[in-house]
């Protein structure tokens, strides 16, 4: 699934380059769009009695992005374990790969304790290729 964004001025630093931490915001926006593309949202997770807090995040920066750039953030589930889910991302400007990375999320219940991935969530996620 591809989420498209246009870089706003507030996302850039004094040199006019997208500030590194904003890539994690781009990842988050892509994740939310991913759920919407499946006909779901984070509200569905709450209804299922779970939350998916980020427990690990990584971004590998390759090239800079700038104000007004139109970026494509490709996102997909790359791993589904017993009590965690991993999303993989690629950020592109046209054909140029600017960054790639991942976030890992614990699956926790309303009590804040880890729990297995509910079957309803497994069923909502397309098959993982790889």
Q: Catalytic annotation on 13?
A: yes
> Beta-carbon neighbour count of residue 9 at 10 Å?
8
Closest alpha carbon to 75 in 101, 105, 104: 101
Active-site annotation holder among 11, 13, 69, 111 = 13
Q: In angstroms, rounded to a whole number, what is the distance separating the alpha carbons of residues 128 and 117? A: 15
R_g of the chain computed on alpha carbons: 16
Tokens in use for 15?
């040199």
Which residues, listed in sequence order, are joined to residue 109 by a DSSP beta bridge? 50
Where in the sequence numbering do the catalytic residues fall?
13
């Amino acid at each position: 699934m591809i989420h498209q964004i246009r870089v706003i001025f507030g996302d850039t630093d004094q040199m006019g380059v997208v500030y590194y931490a904003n890539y994690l915001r781009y990842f988050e926006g892509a994740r939310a769009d991913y759920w919407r593309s499946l006909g779901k949202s984070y509200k569905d997770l709450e209804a299922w009695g779970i939350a998916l807090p980020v427990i690990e995040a990584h971004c590998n920066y390759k090239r800079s992005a700038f104000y007004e750039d139109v970026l494509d953030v490709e996102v997909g589930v790359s791993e589904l374990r017993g009590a965690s889910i991993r999303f993989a991302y690629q950020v592109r400007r046209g054909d140029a790969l600017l960054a790639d990375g991942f976030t890992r999320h614990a699956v926790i219940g309303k009590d804040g304790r880890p729990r297995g991935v509910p079957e309803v969530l497994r069923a909502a996620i397309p098959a993982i290729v790889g």
